[in-house]
Amino acid sequence: MASVAEVKAAVDAALQQVTDGQQAIQAAREKIGEAQQSLAAALDGSGNEAVGAAHAQLSQADQSLEECLGATLAAIEQAQQYTANL
C-alpha cells in the first residue's frame, strides 16, 4: 500500500499532466481563433452557405475546448481537495 506522501506525489504528477493538457487546449483555441480570422479574410463577402457552416463549426470547436478547460479545472479542484484530506 502506498504511503500518503507517495499518493500525494502521484496526484501532483497527474495534475501536472492536466496542466500541460490545459496549455495544449489553450494553444488549440488560439489556433482556431487564428483560423477563423484567416477564413473570414479569405472569404470576405461570400454568402455561400458552406462559409457560414465552416464558421459555425469553428465556433462550436472553440466552445467545446472552453468546456474542456472548465472540466479540467474542476478535476484539479477535486484532486486537490482529495489530497488535502489525506
- 33-68 pLDDT tens trace: 999 999 988 888 877 888 889 989 999 999 999 999
C-alpha cell, 68: 474542456
Least trusted range by pLDDT, from 4-13, 21-30, 48-57, 71-80: 48-57
**How distant, in Å, are the alpha carbons of 1, 38, 55, 73, 79 from that of 86?**
14, 50, 47, 20, 11
Q: State how far the Cα of 46 lies from the Cα of 40, in Å rounded to an integer.
A: 9
| pLDDT of amino acid 8 | 94
The span from the CA of 72 to the CA of 53, in Å, is: 29
Interacting residues of 48 by C-beta distance below 8 A, sequence separation 6+ = none
